[in-house]
Structure 1
Amino acid sequence: MKLTTFLLLVACLQISAKGLSQQISLSETKAPLKKVLKSVARQAGISIIYDEDLLASAHPVTIEVKNVPVRQVLDMALADQPFSYVVDGSRIIVKSLPETKPADVDTIITVTGRITDEKGDPLPGTSIRIKDSKSGAVTDGTGSYSIKVPPGSTLIVSAVGFEPVNWAVTKSSMNFILKISQTALTETVVVGYGVQKKSVVTGAISSVRAADLESQPVTRLEGALQGRTSGVTIAAGSGQPGSSATVRVRGLTTFNNNDPLWVIDGVVVDNGGIGYLNQYDIESIEVLKDAASQAIYGARAAAGVILVTTKKGKAGTLQVNYNGYYGNSEPARKLKLLNATQYATLRNEASVAAGNGIVYADPASLGKGTDWQSLIFNNSAARQNHEVSVSGGNDKSTFYSSFGYLKQDGIVATDISKYERINLRLNSTHKLSKYVTLGENVGYAYDKALGVGNTNSEFGGPLSSAINLDPITPAVITDPAVAAAAPYTNTGIRRDKNGNPYGISSAVGQEITNPLAYISTRLGNYNWSHNIVGNTYLEIVPVKGLKLRSTLGTKIAFWGSETFTPISYLNSSTISSRTSFSRNQNSGFAWNIENTASYTKDIRKNSFTILLGQGAYMDNRTRATTVTFYDVPANTFEEASMNFKVASDNRTSDGSEGADHRISSLFARVNYAYDEKYLIEGIVRRDGSSRFGANNKYGTFPSFSLGWNISKEGFWPQQNLVNFLKLRGGYGVVGNDNIGDFAYLSTIGSGRNYAFGNSGSYQIGYSPNAPSNPDLKWESTSQTNVGFEATVYNDFRVAFDWYKKVTKDILQNPRIPSYVGAISNPAANVADMENTGVELELGYHKKVGEVDLNVNANVSYTTNKVTNLGTGIKYLSGGQTFQSSSYPITRTALGQPLNSFYGFKTNGIFQNQSEVDNYTSKAGGKIQPDAKPGDFRWVDTDGDGTITEADRQFLGNPTPTWTYGGTINAAYKGIDIVVFIQGSAGNKIFQGLRRLDILNANWQTKALGRWTGEGSTNDYPRLISTDPNRNFTNPSDFYLENGSYCRIKSLQLGYSIPNTITKRVGIEKFRIYVMSENLLTFTKYTGYDPEIGGGVFSIDRGIYPQARSFMLGVNATF
C-alpha cells in the first residue's frame, strides 16, 4: 500500500500548534479530493496522511468557504465520500468508512425533511451523513433533503458556521433547526455607517438581538434594553404607562444632558422621541460605549451612542407573523401606613409632647379608617399588545411591513392613567440594476396618554396624597348633616356619582387633597402625538468593493394636549373659581443628509476598508401654540369645546418658535486587518455646530484602536481550553453639544428701570442679562478602553472591558465680579469630571441531551468623581430641593460623585438628659442645649460646638455604581422557559414619601417603633408636633436607605405546538406562552420601588411604581 505524507510546516509538525480550529479559505469546483486535501494541508500547516489507492473512489468536490475552521472544511469535503478522518497525535489520517451490513430491502426507509436556521431560513448545501456509514446527502436550494437509511441509524447534520446535530432516526420525516456556531464568529455588528464582523471589531460594542427583545413585554424601547448589556444603567422615571426611562451609558458624563445619542436606521432621535418604536420591529440594538467606536458621531457622542436597526424583508415566500398578549397588572407593593386608630394615637402623643392637649378623645373608636392606597390602586389594570408583520420579496425587491396596537391601563388612578399607541412600519429595498439599490425605512406612531399629573412629586399628585392624607378623613361624606355644613357648602365641592361630596381633611391641608376629588378634576384630559421617522437611501456599487451611498433622513412630529379645568374646591388652599379649556398644539421637524463612500479591498491576507463621509443636520425647528378659553359653560371635559362663544378678554393665546440647531460634518474611518489576526482602526470626524461661539464653531474628534486575535497565532495550541481570544484597546475623543442654543450670545432683559435727574420717576430700562462668550465650545470627553473577548470550550463566552472616561470643559455659569454689571453669569467651559469602570459579559450555550440551554449575564461597575469646578470653586451652590426644607439635599463638589446626597448626619438618639448634657464641645459647652431625650444627636462635623448648616456632610451617592442582568433560556421538546433578572447596587435613596413640612401627615408603620423611653430605640426619634430639634424637617441620613435591588424582571413559560400539527391548518409555527413581569423584587428599600430615574437618580417623593403583570401570549408564523 502506497502512502503519501504531506509535511508542509517543517518547524511546526504537531496539530496542536495549528489545530483544527485554524481558519482557511477554499474555492474549488468539481476538484479531485486529493487536490482539496493538499490545499487544506498547505494553508493550515498540518500533516494529512491517506492511501492514494483509496482516493481513487473519491467523488469530485465543490466547495466555497472563507475563513472557516479546518475541521468544518474536512467535514464538508468528506461529506458524501466513503471516507472519514481521525486525529492521531500529530497527524490527520483519512481512512475508509467501515463496511456496513446491507439491510434488508424491505427494512430500508427513506427519510425526508428540511433544514433551516433559527430564523426559519433554508440552509442549502448542508451535509447529512449516516453515522458509521459511507452514505450521505446534501440539501438543495430550499434546504430539503432525502436519504435512504437502515433502521436504528443516526444522522449527522452539519453546515459551515452552525453547530452539528446528531439525531437518531425515529420517523420518515425529520426537520432540523441548526444553531449558529459559537466558535464560527461570523456574527456581524452594526457600527456607525456600516457593519463589521464581530471577530474584527476593536471597539467596546454590546449587541442585543431581536430574540432577546421579544421575550419581554415593554411599552418603550428602553425597558427592553434594561439589564441586557453591560455599561448601561436604565431606571424608570415613572411606572405610568408610556413614560420614558433614564438611560446612562458608562455613568454620568456631564452636569448637563446625559442622554445618549439614539440613531434609528440612521436618523437621530432624542431620548424622549424613541417611544414611537414597536419592539417587534427591531432587528438589533448596538451600544457604542467607548470613544473608539463613538468617534464617528463626533460632537454628539459623549454620552454614548445607541444604534437601532429595524427588520428588513428577505427574498422568498411571503411570511406573516403575529405576536400578541393580553393580561392584567397590579401594584407589586403597598406601603404599610398607619390606620386611623394608630394615627390618632401618635397624633395625641406628638401633641402632648409639645405641651398641648390630646387631639382625639377615643382613638380606638376610629377603627381602621380610610385606606387611601386601596382607593387609588387598581389590582387588575388591563394591558394588551398586538403586532402583525408581513415580509417577503424576490431577488429584485424585498419588503417588511407591520402594524402594532398597544393599550395599557395604569395601576394608579386608572381613570386618568392610560396609554394607547398605534404603530405602522414599511421598510423596503429595490435592486434597480446590478449596480444600483434604492430603499427606505419609515415608521409612524400615534399615541394618546392620560396622565395622573404630578408623578414623583410631593405637591398634590394622587399617590403623594394617598401617602400623606390622614386615614381619619372619610373618602366620601355620606352623612347629610356633615355634607350640609362647611366646608362642603363651598362652590365647586367635588362629588361622586351619587352626589356625595368627597371628604376634606381638617388635619392635613395645603397641597394634600383627597385623591378621589383630584382625579375627578382631570377626567378626560389627555396628551397626543403623531411621529414619523424614516429615511430613504440610494446605493451604487460601480466597481467591486466600492460602495457609494446617499441618505436623506427626516423626523416629523406633531403633539399636543387638551385640558379642561372645572370649578373646584378641593381644600382651602386648592381652589379653582372658573372653568377653562386649553388646547396646545406643537410641531417639530428635523432632517439629515449623509453621503458616504466606502471601499474594501483584500490583497492576500491583507484587508483594507476606507470610509469617507459628509453630513448636514438640522433639528429643533419647532412651533407651539396654546389657546385657552375661560368661563366655558361646561362641567366636564366631554362638554367643553372651543366652539363656545366667550368674551374676548376670556380668551388667551400664545405661541413660540424654536431656533434651528444645525451641524455640518466630515468624517473618515480606516480599517486594516492582516489575516483577521492584527487589527487597526482609525476614525476622525470634524463637526461644526450652531450652538457655539465664533471662535470655536468647529472641532475635531479622533480615535484609534488596535486588536489582536491571539488565538489565530501559530503558537496557540489547538487543544487549549480557550478556543478564541482577542485583545483590544483604544483611545478617542468625542464631544457633547447638547447644551442648548445660543448660550454664547448676550441677551437683553427688561425691567431694569432707572431714574434720571431729580424727578423721582423711573424710566423703562433694558440691559444685558450676561456677557457674551465667543469662545464657548463643546464639552469634550476622552476615553481609554482596554478589553478582551474569549470563547472557552466552544460553549462559554467572555468579554471584559476596563475604561477611564475624562470629560473636560463642562458648561457652567461661573461667577463674575458684580462691577461687570451683568444680571446673571455667562456660560463658559470650566468644569471637569471623570468616570472609571469595568464591565464583564458572560455567555454559555450548550445542548445537554435534549435540553438546549442558553445563559447570558453581565455586570458593570462605575465610579464618578468631579475633578474641577473652576478656579477657587469647591462646590456648586444649589442642588436638588425637597419640599420646604431650608437646605438642598444634594451637592456637587470636588472629589465627590455628581449630585451626591448632602445633609446632616445622625449619631443615634439621646436616651436620657445625661446624654444631652454630656454631648459637649472641646470648650465644654453643650452642642445641642435645647435637645431632649428622644431627639437625634446631630454630628458636629466642623467641631465648632454648635449645630449649623456648616455641619452638613456628604451622605451617599444617588447613582448606582453596580448594574447587572442575566438571562436563562432553556428549551426541551417544544417547551421553553426564559428567566430574566436585573438589578443595581451601590446607591442610596432619599425616602421622602412623607412631607417634611406637614407634621400632621400620616406615617408609615415603622413610626410605631419610635422612641418612647430610654432604651426603646436608637433609630427613630420621638414624636412632637412642633419638632424643635428638627428631627424630621432636617434633611439627614435618617431619610437615606440602601437602594440596592435584585428583580425577576420577567419569567416566561412557552410551548410550541409541533409543526407537523400546525402545518395541517396552514401555520408554520405556533407558540403559546404565559409570562410575568416584575414578578419579585428583593430589596431593603421601604418605598414602593427602588428603581427611581430622573435627572438625578434615587429621590423618592412618591414615585409612580412599576406594575407587576401577568399575561397570556401567542407567537404565530404563517
Structure 2
Amino acid sequence: MKRLITISLHGVLCLLLINRAHAQDVTIKGTVTDATTGETLIGVSVAVKSTQTGAQTGPDGTFTISAPSTGQLAFSYIGYTTQTVAINGRTTIDIKLAVQANELQQVVVVGYGTQRKRDITGAVANVKGEELARQPVQTATQALQGKVAGVQVTSSGAPNSSPSVRIRGTGTLLGGAEPLYVVDGVLTNDIRNINNNDIENVDVLKSASASAIYGVRAANGVIIITTKQGKRGDLRVTYDGTVGFREAANLIKMASSEQYVAYLKDASPTTQIPDYNGTTDWYGTILRRALTQNNNVSVSGGTEKATYFFSAGYLTDEGIVIDNKYKRISIRTNDVFTLSDKVKLTTQVAFTHGTTRNVNLGSAYNDAYRAAPIIPSIVNGLYGNTALFGNVGNPLLDIGKNNDQVNESRLQGNIAIDYKPVKTLTLRSAINTDVNFNNQRIYNYKYAADENTYIVPGGNQRGDFSQLIMTNTNNNRYIWDNTATFQQTFGKHSLTVLGGFTMERYYNRYTYGSQRGAPENQDLWYLGTGDPTTSLASNPDLTIIPGDKFTRLSVLGRINYAYAGKYLFTANIRNDASSKFSKDNRSALFPSFGLGWVLTEEDFMKDQKLFSSLKLRGGYGKIGNDNIASSQYIVTALQNIPYFFGNAGSTGNPNNVALGAAINELKNANLKWETTEEYDAAIEFSMLNSKLSGELSYYNKKTKNALININIPEIFGDPNNQYVTNAATISNKGIEAALNWRDEVNPDFRYN
C-alpha cells in the first residue's frame, strides 16, 4: 500500500512538470496596422485571453507582451473588428485590423467633443470625407445631397454658387434658414472655400437635443466639418485628380422655324416674317458642355512629438453657360505638436483664392425661352435683332455686354492648446478666425441699336452709357473658446462633464463706387476714368448695409452619463447673450436633454441573432436664432437727403440745397429671440453582422416668436408700410428613414 502511494505521487509530479513545460510564458512582439491603409494604429488593446494580462500598442504601432505559448491574444480598437489569434509558440505576431462596419461604433463630433454614435441620444448623421471627395462638385454641401435623411440641398449649378441647405424643414421667415457650419472649431455660414479632399468627416446635428450646445446659432441645425490630420509614420504623398464635363439635361423642346411660322400665320396673319431659312436654337447659343477639373496633392506624416498634414488644390469649373467660369487655389496645413505628456498644441490654417466670372443668367435664360427661332443669333459679329421683331432681348447680348468678375481671398484657421493637469481632466483654449476679402468689378458696355451692333438696326435693346461698378467687402470673425472636460469611468458608470465659455466678434465693412462713361479698355477700368458728375459712393439699393458689427458671449455645459453601456443620458445647457437685441432681451437660456437605451446590451437580448445592435433614443431641446441685422431693433436715420426748401447760407442763394436726415423705417425696439423647441424619438439598429444598418426617426419642431413683416397704416410714414416684429409660429413635423449596407469582401475591396 505504501509503495502504491509513492508511485501515484510521482505520477502527479510528472504531470505537473509536463503541464508547466507546455504553459511556459514567451515574450511576443509585433505591429498592429490598418488593414486598408497600412498605417500603424496607436493605443490598440492587446489582451491575453482568459487572463488579466494586457498591453497597448505604442506611437509606432508596436507592442510587447508576455503570454503562455499555447494561449491566445485578442486585439481590440474602437472602430475596428476585434481579432483573436492563437500564439502557437510564436514570438513575433503582426496584425492587420479591419475597419468595423457597425454604424453605431463610429466616433462622431458632437460639438466641443466626440462620442461613439451608440452613446449619442440626439439625431446625428455622419458622412465620411472619402464619400464626399468622390463627388465631382465644388462644395461639401452639394456632395451631401441624398446622403442624409432630413437634409435637403438645392443648388443652381452655377460655378461658385452657394447651395441652399434645409435641415428638417424651414423654421424661420426672416431670420435666415441656413444651418451653422463649424470647420475645425471655426463657426461660419459659408464653406465654399473648403477643399472636399481635405475633409475627414462631416457630422450633421439635426435635432435640437443634439445641436443645443451651439445655442443661438443652432436653430437651423449644425454641420460640423473635421479636416484631415497627419498620422505618425513615414512621409506619405497623395495625389488625387478628376476631369469631367457637365451639360444641361432635359431642356424644354422649343418650336422649329417651320412650327413657329405656322403659328404666326394663324395667330397674326399680318405679321411680316423675316427672311431666314434656318432655325436658331437659343438655348444652344448660350449653353455649352463645360469642362471641370480638380487636382489635389497632400503630404502627411509625423513622429511621436509632432504630426503634419499639408495639402494644395486647384479647381476649375467652366459652367454650362458661356463666359461663366470659376477658378480656385486652396492651401491647408494642419499640425499637432505634443509638447509633453500633458500639453498638446494644434494649429490649422487654410487659405483660398478664387476668381469667378458671373454672367447675366436671369435675362439670358428668360430671353432664350422667349426669343423667336426665325432670327439668327449672330452673323459676322453682328447680332440678330430679336428686340426689333418680338420685343425680346438677344441672349448673347445679355451675356456679352456685361463683364462681372469677383476676386475672393479667404483665410481661416485656429490655434489651440490642450492641457491635462490630471488624467481625467482636459483644459482647452482655442482662438479661431475667419477673414474674407471680396472684390467685385462690374462693367456694362455701351452699345446702340444701330448697324454697328445688329444685322438689322432698331428695337429697344441697347446700352445708352457704359457703367463701371466697384464693390469691396471685408469680413472678420474672431471666436475664443475655453472649455474644461472631465471624463471618468468607475465600475459600470461612465461620466463626461463639459463646461466652458465662448466669445465671438464679427466685423463687416462694405464700400461701393460707380461711375458712368468709363472706357471699354480693361486697363482703364478704374473709378475716376469716367464722367465725374455721375459718381456714386453709396449703393442705391438701400437694403445693402454699408457695414456691420456684433458680438456674442456664451456660457455652456454638458453632461454625458452611461450605465453599463446601455442606459444613456445627455443634458446640454447654454446661455447666450447677443448684441443684436436690446439690453432687456439680450440674454436667453437654451436647454436640452436626451435619453437612450441600448437593448442589445440587455441579458434578454443576448441569445437573439437578428440584431447586431439595437437602440432606442429620444430627446427634447430648445434653441434660439439671432440671425438678423444688427440694427433691426435700432431706429436709424438716413443722412444727406436733399431738403425740400433751399438754404441761402453764406452765399445768399436761396436755391442752394440743404442736406438733412430722415427716419426711413419704423422698428420694434422690443424684438425678441426666435426660439425653436423640438421633440424627437428614434430607433437605430444594425443586422446581418452589422452589414445592414438603419434608423427610423420622428420629429416635431415648432418655432415661436418668428419674425414677420406685418402691414401698418400709411399714416405712420414707413416707406413700405411694413413692420418687423415677433408675430409668427412655424411648425415642422416629419418621419425620417435611412438604410445603409456596408460590406467588406476582403481588405482591398469594400462597398456600400
TM-score (norm 1): 0.57
Establish whether residue 411 from structure 1 lines up as the match of residue 308 from structure 2: no
- In 2, Cα distance between equivalents of 1:61 and 1:803: 57
Q: Does 1:378 align with 2:288?
A: yes
Aligned to 1:613: 500
CA apart distance, 1:287: 0.5
Question: Would the alpha carbon gap of residues 686 and 214 (structure 1) be closer, same or farther in structure 2, given more than 3 Å must change?
Answer: same
1:675 to 560, 564, 568: 564
Partner in structure 1 of residue 741 of structure 2: 844
Query: After superposition, where does 1:977-996 map in structure 2 within 5 Å?
Result: none
Work out the CA distance in 2 between the residues paired with 1:329 and 1:313.
Answer: 34
**CA apart distance, 1:538:** 1.4
Matches within 5 A, 1:385-404: 385-404=294-313
The answer for the alignment partner of 1:464 in structure 2 is 366
Conservation of the 8 A alpha-carbon contact between 1:344 and 1:359: no
Cα deviations across residues 46-98 of structure 1 (Å, max 9, x unaligned)?
Answer: xxxxx999787335499xxxxxxxxxxxxxxxx99xxxxxxxxxxxxxxxxxx
Note if contact 1:745-1:774 (Cα within 8 Å) is conserved in structure 2.
Answer: yes
Per the alignment, residue 521 of structure 1 pairs with 401
Q: Please show how residues 414-425 of structure 1 align to structure 2 within 5 Å.
A: 416-425=323-332
SS of the aligned residue for 1:557 comes to strand
Q: Which residue of 2 aligns with 1:1103?
A: none
Mark the CA change 1:631 to 1:766 in structure 2 (over 3 Å): closer, same or farther.
Answer: closer
Residue 503 of structure 1: CA displacement? 3.8
Percentage identity across paired residues of the two chains:
32
State the one-letter code of the partner of 2:733.
Answer: T
Name the counterpart of 1:359.
Answer: 271
The alpha-carbon distance between structure 1 residues 127 and 502, as it changes in their structure 2 partners (threshold 3 A), is same
Give the equivalent residue in structure 2 for 1:635.
520
Change (3 A) 1:434 1:52: same
Aligned partner of 1:120 in structure 2 is: 38
Equivalent AA in structure 2 for residue 546 of structure 1: L
Cα distance in 2 for residues equivalent to 1:406 and 1:225: 19
Distance 1:583 1:529 in 2: 14
Tell me the residue number matched to 1:28.
none
1:300 deviation in Å?
1.4
Which secondary structure state, in structure 2, belongs to the residue aligned with residue 694 of structure 1? coil
Q: Does the aligned pair in 2 maintain the 1:127–1:157 contact within 8 Å?
A: no
Query: Could you say if the C-alpha distance between residues 115 and 262 of structure 1 is closer, same or farther in structure 2, counting changes exceeding 3 Å?
Result: closer
Counterpart of 1:802?
Answer: 698
Q: Distance in 2 between matches of 1:56 and 1:670?
A: 52
String of CA shifts for 1:758-811, please: whole Å, max 9, x gaps. Answer: xxxx99986644555343111100000111211212122122211100110001
Q: CA deviation at 1:163?
A: 4.2
Q: Quote the Cα distance in structure 1 between the aligned partners of 2:26 and 2:270.
A: 99
Q: 1:775 to 1:60 in 2, by over 3 A?
A: farther
Pairwise mapping of residues 719-798 of structure 1 onto structure 2 (< 5 A)?
A: 719-748=608-637, 768-769=663-664, 771-794=666-689, 795-798=691-694
- Structure 1 residue 394, shift from structure 2 partner: 1.0
2:435 is the alignment partner of 1:556: yes
1:599, distance to aligned residue in structure 2 (A): 0.6
Identify the residue that residue 699 of structure 1 maps to in structure 2.
Answer: 588
1:507 maps to 389
Q: Counterparts in 2 of 1:482-631, with a 5 A limit?
A: 496=381, 500-509=382-391, 512-523=392-403, 525-569=404-448, 572-619=459-506, 621-631=507-517
Distance 2:431 2:108 in 1: 23
The verdict on how the C-alpha distance between 1:124 and 1:565 changes in structure 2, with shifts beyond 3 A counting, is: closer
Point out the more displaced range, 713-722 or 278-287: 713-722
The amino acid across from 1:244 in the alignment is S
Q: Take 1:554 and 1:448, find their aligned partners in 2: how far apart are those partners?
A: 22
| Deviation readout 1:370-396 (Å, 9 max, x if unpaired) | 1222222223x2221111111111111
Instruction: Give the letter aligned to residue 271 of structure 2.
Output: V
> For residues 38 and 101 of structure 2, what CA distance do their matches in structure 1 show?
19
Alpha carbons of 1:292 and 1:113: their partners in 2 closer, same or farther (altered >3 Å)? Answer: closer
Distance 1:703 1:54, change over 3 A: farther
Letter of the 1:338 counterpart: A
How far off is 1:220 after superposition? 1.6
Quick check: 2:122–2:618 contact (8 Å CA) kept in 1?
A: yes
Q: How many residues were matched structurally?
A: 684
Q: Which residue of 2 aligns with 1:350?
A: 267
Give, in whole Å, the separation in 2 of the partners of 1:598 and 1:122.
Answer: 28
Query: CA 1:56–1:830 in structure 2 vs 1: closer, same or farther (change >3 Å)?
Result: farther
The Cα of 1:690 is off from its aligned counterpart by 1.1
Distance in 1 (alpha carbons) for counterparts of 2:743 and 2:97: 13
In 1, Cα distance between equivalents of 2:45 and 2:593: 43
* Post-superposition offset of 1:506: 2.9
> Could you report, residue by residue, the CA deviation over 1:120-168 in whole angstroms, capped at 9, with x for unpaired residues?
313589999xxxxxxxxx99986799xxxxxxxxxx998425447999x
Task: Determine the structure 1 residue equivalent to 2:542.
Answer: none
**Which residue is equivalent to 1:160?**
76
TM-aligned CA deviation for residue 406 of structure 1? 0.5
CA contact (8 A) 1:754 1:764 kept: no
CA contact (8 A) 2:60 2:233 kept: no
Q: Which amino acid is the alignment partner of residue 520 of structure 2?
A: N
The match for 1:194 among 113, 121, 127 is 113
**Residues in 1 aligned to 2:683 and 2:17: alpha-carbon distance in whole angstroms:** 45
Separation (CA, whole Å) in 1 of partners of 2:393 and 2:701: 47
C-alpha deviation, 1:249, in angstroms: 0.4
Partner of 1:718: 607
Closer, same or farther: CA 716–700 of 1 in aligned 2, 3 Å: same
- Equivalence for 1:369: 279
| Contact 1:694-1:775 at 8 Å conserved across structures | no
- Counterpart in 2 of 1:258? 177
Partner amino acid, structure 2, of 1:222: T
CA–CA distance in structure 2, aligned partners of residues 141 and 548 of structure 1: 23
In structure 2, how many angstroms separate the alpha carbons of the residues matched to 1:818 and 1:801? 48
Question: Does the 8 A contact of 1:292 with 1:732 survive in 2?
Answer: yes
How many angstroms does 1:642 deviate by?
A: 2.5
Aligned amino acid, residue 207 of structure 1 = N
Counterpart amino acid of 2:316?
K
What secondary structure, in the 3-state scheme, does the structure 1 residue paired with 2:136 have?
A: coil
C-alpha displacement at 1:743, in angstroms?
1.6
> C-alpha displacement at 1:819, in angstroms?
5.9
Residue 593 of structure 1 aligns with an amino acid whose one-letter code is W
Q: Distance in 2 between matches of 1:821 and 1:635?
A: 44
Name which of 114, 129, 147 aligns with 1:228: 147
2:11 alignment counterpart? none
Deviation at 1:338, TM superposition (A): 0.5
Distance 1:666 1:293 in 2: 17
Query: Structure 1 residues 61 and 206 mapped into 2: Cα distance closer, same or farther (>3 Å)?
Result: farther
Q: Cα gap change, 1:398/1:328 in structure 2, threshold over 3 Å: closer, same or farther? A: same
Q: What code does the residue aligned with 1:340 have? A: S
Distance change >3 Å, CA 465–CA 275, structure 1 → 2? same
Q: For 1:294-333, list aligned pairs within 5 A.
A: 294-333=211-250
CA contact (8 A) 1:421 1:447 kept: yes
**Given that residues 387 and 460 in structure 2 are in contact (C-alpha distance below 8 angstroms), is that contact kept between their aligned partners in structure 1?**
no
Check conservation: 1:125, 1:159, Cα contact below 8 A.
no
CA distance in 2, matches of 1:581, 1:849: 62
Distance in 2 (CA, whole Å) between partners of 1:590 and 1:326 is: 35
Per-residue deviation at 1:816? 4.3
User: Is this contact kept in 2: 1:448–1:528, CA < 8 A?
Assistant: yes
CA distance in 1, matches of 2:534, 2:42: 74
Q: Distance in 2 between matches of 1:127 and 1:251?
A: 44
Q: Aligned AA for 2:508?
A: T
Q: Cα distance, 1:117 vs. partner?
A: 3.3
User: Is 2:106–2:116's contact at 8 Å kept on the other side of the alignment?
Assistant: yes
**More strand by percentage:** 2
The 1:704–1:163 alpha-carbon spacing in structure 2 relative to 1, beyond 3 Å, is closer
Change (3 A) 1:847 1:612: closer
